[in-house]
Every structure is written in structure tokens, then in C-alpha cells.
Chains A and B, each alone.
Chain A
């Protein structure tokens, strides 16, 4: 399909904006634009058709089942889109005086209260833009906390299990800390013996996803908390998998000191093809003074922004955070109320049902019940039929399913990480099971069909190596290369896709 730039014709346009007959001041010559940007020149009918055609080549939760593990691809209620587009929210300037933004401030204050209750921790900042920014913010809180206690340089190490999302170690580096890896034991928990030798007076904290990326709740969490707290270190909860435990087990009660939420996962902000997200954090009292500014506080019946926080780490993004995300998530939570518990229960029920029906046909690395997601291995298919996790993922597309996350976590070979979420119907889960079982049968009987999948998508398997080597990352107009003239092979890296 053509790029929008290839549909462009000089002199066409879609826009009509008010003009004025007032004189336009001269821009000083050295600052004046010399060559106009080659933006598309296209009329509105073709503009709409272009983007509509792009949507037909895009798969969303609205299109079908999307069990991308660790991403919590649940249904996005449309009422949330209606309310976020109310002019009082949509057209509200972030620097509006507080008396003209009371509704927005109240909504944020209420969301803070809700998140504090769900986390089991008293203080919340909504500001971080996404989960990974929540992580970085949390680590900066640790730095500020230890600096305030007069031990800024002594504690440099952050313990991270080998199952962690890549964001955790990346955030650690960006916070100026160092990663101390810890292994997973035979039951899928943190290896407590390995851990004991690694936590000491140089440890700033732990980053843990619980349930883990294996979809398993760490059975030794109390002992782990004891190890860190007795060493004077802090515990950070990566909330990527919070959808499993709302109202069932609270991070604060598990011993965590800092938690981030992924509003785009647990609380149904639509994923938008890659974003926006929201990554609020909740913390224990002793960390509250360091939270980003402004804080949103209530004074009697009024709400205001409080910048008077002398120990704050500062601001981590503009204004108060991604407000539109807050509106959607707040609306979502209000539809459940305390029934958030049932949301998590059904998420766990759906996952265990899929697990029960698939674990014999694939390999289950840890023989346990799962939480909201689980990880299978396609190792046996690979050994017996040469069919990899990547092949399984591609063949699922022929069954009109989005593939699960693959090749993650890293300690499971040929990993397929499946998260159905609570919003799927049993029939959908049954259809998915049938597809997964059919792939196992096809692997034995007609493996080529799987290796050549997908069939009938707008493109087949792509040449990732060529993409990286040629690095054509924008349209080059008359100089644009014809990559199809160069040899092409399906070269996909067996690298993590998803999570």
C-alpha cells in the first residue's frame, strides 16, 4: 500500500483555517524557513481513506483476541471515550487557575485515594507517564531517601530476578544504580538462598513483579521482604501484573514500599498502538516527602496543587501527568467499585482454564496453578518437528488471533506467554485452545504450513535483518530506495516480542 507521501499532489490540501487580512510581520531572514517541509498534500476524502485503509491492516482488542502476555489487553469500554471527550476535560488548559480546574483536581485526588487503597500504601503521585517511568521515578525516590538518611553512596545495588521485564534493569542504569541479578528456583519463585548472599548494606532495594512474568505468585514473599527490610533496603513493586491481585493481595501488605501501576493495563486505558500509558506510583509514608511535585491535596471542599515539598525529587514530566488517562481509568474503576476483586478473580480463572487445557499439548515449565497469565514452552515442538515459538505465533494469525508474547521470560526456552484477561468469553478461550491444539497436530502432520505462516495477512514474514542493516526509517521521496529490488528472506530474530 502506498505511503501518504506517495499519494501527495502539489497544490492539494485538506485544511481550512481562519485567515486574517492583518499584516504578517517579517521573520528575520536568518530565522526564516527556507525550504518548506514536504508534508503530504492531500484532500480530505483521500486522507480519510488512507487512514481507514491503515486500520484494516491493524489488529486491536476490538478486532479479536489479543493474549499478549504481561500487556493485559482487556476490553476498553467505550463510555470511557465518551467522558474523556467532555469539553470540561478535553479543552482544559493545564495552567488554568485552580478555581477553574476543581473538577479535574478532584478527579485526580479521588484516583489517588483509590490507588492508595488498591496498593495498600498511603501516598500516591499520578505523574509518571508510563510504567517504565514509574520505575525510574521509584528508583530516584530510593536515591533521595538514602541521601536524606546520610547514606547516598553506600547503597548502589538493586536486586532484580532473571525473570524481570527488561525495563527494570534499564531503569536501574538510568537511575545510576547497578543490577544484582538473582535466580529463579525450581518452583518459579526467587531463589531465596541465592538472594541471601546478595543482599547487604550496599543494597538499595529490590525490584520485583509479583505475580512474576511466569504468572506465578512468589510463595516466599514474606521471607524476601524480611531479608530486604532487615538490611535497611527498600522494595519496589512492578505493577505490570497487578491485574491478578486487585482486592486479593495488596503490594503494601506484601512488604513493598513503592509500587507503580500501569493504568493502560490494569485500568483499561486503551493501548493506542503503543501508548499512551500511565504509571502512577504509591509509596509508604517515609517516602512521601520525596514524591514529584505538584502533589494534589484536598483542603476541606477545595482541591489544590501543592509545590511546597522541600524534599521532592522534582518533576518527572510536564504538568500533573497524562490527565486523559486518569479520566478513563477513573471511570473504569468506578464501574467496578470493590468489584475490582472479581475482575482479578476472573482474569485468574480465565488464565487457569487456558492453562489446564493447553499444558499437556505444550510444556509447562513450572507445575503450578497460575495467576492472570502463564508461560508455556514450545521446546518439544521444536525438538520433534522443528516448530518454534515464533512459528506457533505466526500460525495463530491464520486463526485470527494475535499471538502471545514470545521468547520472554528469558529463562524459559521457546516461551509462549499467554494472558487472556478477564473480559474474554469462554467461547473465545475455547476457540483459542482449539487453534493451539490444531497447531500441535499440524506440527506433526504438515509442518511446512506452520513454517510458512501466516497466510493471507497483508505481508508474510519480514526480513528484520534487512530492516536493521539498511535502516530506512523515513520516506526519502525521489531518493527512496527500492528495497524489493534487493534479495529478501524471512529473517526474524528469535527475540522477545511483547511484554
Chain B
């Protein structure tokens, strides 16, 4: 099967118009030494139903969250995605357009991005948002790059309670950015503001996560203040689902708020594509990476939207750009906008409260020691299962339950620790079953 439209007759007419004898002749500029001769060693073409059958077979060898009762979180979450999200994303105009370079052709998607930027600013308490970054890891690296240029400093401080993958990605890009990375260890599951203040001296920025990777609530206002006092930009990595009940980073003095958007409107999809969000105080707008849509008017004075502040960007500024990002995650960010519009402020708060209530019930009901018993949590918490967490996971999965994430994968000293996530999709009965399975 192919998706070509030319008939044999079309091809002949077109070759004649070009003035060549054959398609082969069109490639005459390619030196013979670098031509590929023969056929690509790929499997034969499949018809449409064969593709479906083949992909169904592959999909069938995965165990998805509709098949196991899942308490797995750790950065990607099984929250409900409303049907309107699917409906909007399958509209061909959104699905198959590209970056809205020509505003007259793309007012719809430009307005949608403007509305998305507004939603992210409202969630985070910030004044400017970009049109999206790749995911919750790369926006952290972006924030470091912004902070380096804003402060002229070249050290970044990461809380050890920041998602390990986020830290890994920052470390990957740090040498190219000319940054040194320092990590601040956790104390009983959270970050100590005094220790952070010490590390933040001469730092460009400090990144912490709220709720943190262990699910614990950080003393976020104190952490932000510690960074600010040291002249470092405070950066909060936040879960959008929490922002109906937890304070917005802008309200406690953060310079930049970032996060993984997946929990708001994207399916788990084995880790992507999702969207990373990035918002900041307006003073940093000209250092922001990525696309930004602004409002203006057209020649007749009508309201219009357009990609703006482009002198930051690679296609104008080239090696002096604030980042190299071009293709971003617009469609996933659009899903986020639809999702947040569906929720509304009341729905977002209720969702957060439901997660918290169910998670609190689970903490109680599981009856296992908490890894950090003194800390308040949101939708995730860490327990000690009294044996290897990997064994506990294996045993539970045999009963049709995925009990969570083995923290040992990132924190080798936490041999028996399991990170349990409870979303609004889980029920009391699910939690009761989890308790039974873990007790067995």
C-alpha cells in the first residue's frame, strides 16, 4: 500500500514537461559513488488491514492500565482523559497543520495556543508561558539555560527529590550549556531550606519539585525564598493536577514554573509524546525558549494572533538564539487546554481533592510503614514493603495489580520502597485489593 496519487499517465506527462526520459534521470546530480543500488532490506509492504492486524498483535503483548489495576505513577499518570480531548485532537485542521507561520491561515491554532498560554499562566501564577516544550525533563534544561543567561552564573542546583529523569536530562545538557550541576540531598523525604540556601550561593537557579518525586510536599515557599536570597532563580517543577489545591509557584516567589503536562489531558502512551510547560515572570519573556503567541490587530483593526518575539528564535537569531526548539508539542498542549477547560477551576480542585482523599485512605488501609511518615503528601506516597520491592511488584502483578514503582531503580539505598500513586480513576475497592495483595 502507498499514499501516492500519480497514475502512469500522469508520470509520463510530467516527465515530458520536465524534459527528461525517466525518473532515474532526475537523480543525475547524485554522484554514482554515493548512489544506493538495489532494494532497501525492509519487509514487504502491508495492506491497511494487515497493518492493523500486525499492530494489534504488538499492542496485545503489552499490559496496559485497563488490564492491570495500576498504582504506577512516578512522572506519568493514569488520570482520566475526557472524550472531548479525543474529539478535538482528531480534527484534521489541528492534526495536520504545522507551526502557524502565516497568521491569516492559522488564526484557530494561534488562538488556541494563546488560550493555552493563558491557562498555564493561571495554573502557575506566572505572567508568560511559551507554546510548549518537549516534556517535563527538557523544560528543566531550558530553565537552566534561561537562568544562566539571566544571572550570568554557571552553576545550577537540583533538589535530589526532583524526578531522577529530569535530573539526568539536565546533566546531559549541562556540559554543552557550560553549566555545573550540584544536587542537594533530601532530609527525610524533603529538601532542607538551609541546605538549599548554602548550595544556592553563586548559583544561576535552583530547581525543586512540588509535590516532589516521593510524593511529599516540599516547604516550597521556604525553598523559593532561600534561592532568591542567594540571588538564584527559584524554579518549581509542578504537577498540573495538584494546582487546584496546592499554591501556585508564582504566588510563593518563583521566577520560573515548569512541569510535565501529561497528567492534564494526555494518555500515558509509554512515555510520549506529551508536553512540557514553561512559564515565567514577564521580566524573562525575552529569554524564553520556544514559540510564543501574542495578540495584535490586523490591517482593519480586528483582533488577531501571531507568533511573536521571534527575535529570540533560531530562524531569526541563529547561533544567538535563546534555544534551538522549532517543532514543539502543540497538539499535546492543545489537549491540555481542552482538558483544563473541561475541568474548569472547580473540577480541577475536586480532582485534586479526590486524589488526596483516596491516597490518604490507601496510606491507612495498606497498613505498611511509610518511608517518610512525617511528610504531607498529595497523590503519591512511598511505603516500605519489607522485602524487595521488585518481588512485591512481581507478586502483585500476578494478581492483576500493578502496585507502584520500585524506588530502588533510582535510589539504590531504598531496597524495599514502593512509590504508590492513586488517581481519581482508582476506587476504594481497588485500594482494598491492593492492601490484600501487598499483605499476602
A130 to B418, CA, bound (A): 33
Q: Which residue of A lies closest to B70 (CB)?
A: A93
Looking at the assembled complex, report how far the CB atom of B413 sits from the nearest CB atom of chain A, in whole angstroms: 18
Q: A130-B327, A324-B272, A340-B40 are in contact. Are A39 and B104 (CB under 8 A)?
A: no
Q: Which of A90, A247, A321 has the most CB of B within 10 A?
A: A90
> A462 interface residue, CB < 8 Å from B?
yes
Contacts of B39 in A (CB 8 A): 247, 338, 341
Across the interface, do A345 and B23 meet the contact criterion of CB distance under 8 Å? yes
Q: How many A-B residue pairs have CB under 8 A?
A: 741
Residue ID in chain A nearest B310 by CB atoms:
A495
Q: B299 to A488, Cβ gap below 8 A?
A: yes
Chain B nearest CB, measured from A189 CB (Å): 9
Q: Which of B31, B62, B310 contacts A222 (CB 8 A)?
A: B31
With contacts A25-B356, A39-B344, A55-B91 taken as known, whether A216 is within 8 angstroms of B318 at the C-beta atoms is: no
CA–CA, A483 and B301, complex, Å: 8
Name the contact of B330 in the complex, choosing from A273, A357, A493 (C-beta under 8 A).
Answer: A273
Q: Is A73 part of the contact surface with B, judged by Cβ < 8 Å?
A: yes
Cβ-based interface call for A327 (8 A): yes
B6-14, B193-201, B226-234: which lies at the interface: B6-14
Number of interface residues of B (CB under 8 A): 207
CB distance from B61 to the nearest CB of A (A): 3
19 A-B pairs besides A56-B108, A334-B51, A425-B5 with CB distance below 8 A are A1-B107, A15-B343, A25-B356, A33-B248, A36-B348, A38-B122, A60-B92, A60-B94, A60-B95, A71-B98, A83-B51, A129-B135, A176-B176, A275-B330, A343-B4, A349-B18, A353-B14, A472-B295, A483-B297
What sequence of 0s and 1s flags, for each residue 262-284 of chain A, a beta carbon within 8 Å of any chain B beta carbon?
A: 10100010111111111000000
- On whether A475 and B105 interact (CB within 8 A), knowing A33-B243, A136-B176, A464-B306, the answer reads no
Contacts of A95 in B (CB 8 A): 72, 74-76, 405
Which of B82, B175, B244 counts the most A-chain CB atoms under 10 A from its CB? B175
One of A172, A250, A321 near B36 (C-beta < 8 A): A250
Q: Which residues of B contact A357 (CB under 8 A)?
A: 17
Q: Please tell me if the beta carbons of B269 and A323 are within 8 angstroms of each other in the complex.
A: yes
Q: Are A331 and B55 in contact (CB under 8 A)?
A: yes
What would 9 A/B residue contacts be, using CB atoms closer than 8 Å? A23-B360, A57-B108, A86-B59, A101-B62, A170-B317, A254-B34, A274-B131, A323-B272, A472-B294
A342 interfacial contact with B, CB 8 Å: yes
Of A197-205, A308-316, A439-447, which binds chain B? A308-316
- CB–CB B62/A497 < 8 A: no
Q: Is the CB of B295 within 8 A of A15?
A: no
Q: Does B414 contact A (CB under 8 A)?
A: no
**Cβ B65 vs Cβ A423 within 8 A:** no
Distance between Cα atoms of A333 and B325 in the complex (Å): 26
CB neighbours (8 Å) of B310 from chain A are: 468, 493, 495
Closest CB-CB distance, B117 to chain A, in whole Å?
Answer: 5
Known: A169-B318, A221-B34, A352-B18. A274 touches B99 (CB 8 A): yes
The answer, yes or no, to whether B420 is at the interface (CB within 8 Å) is no
The 4 closest A-B pairs by CB, nearest first: A319-B271, A88-B59, A272-B331, A62-B92
Minimal Cβ-Cβ distance residue in B for A136: B324
Contact with B along A178-196 (1 / 0, CB 8 A): 0100000000000000000
Interface residue ranges of B330-366 to A (CB < 8 Å): 330-332, 334, 338, 340-351, 353-354, 356-358, 360-361
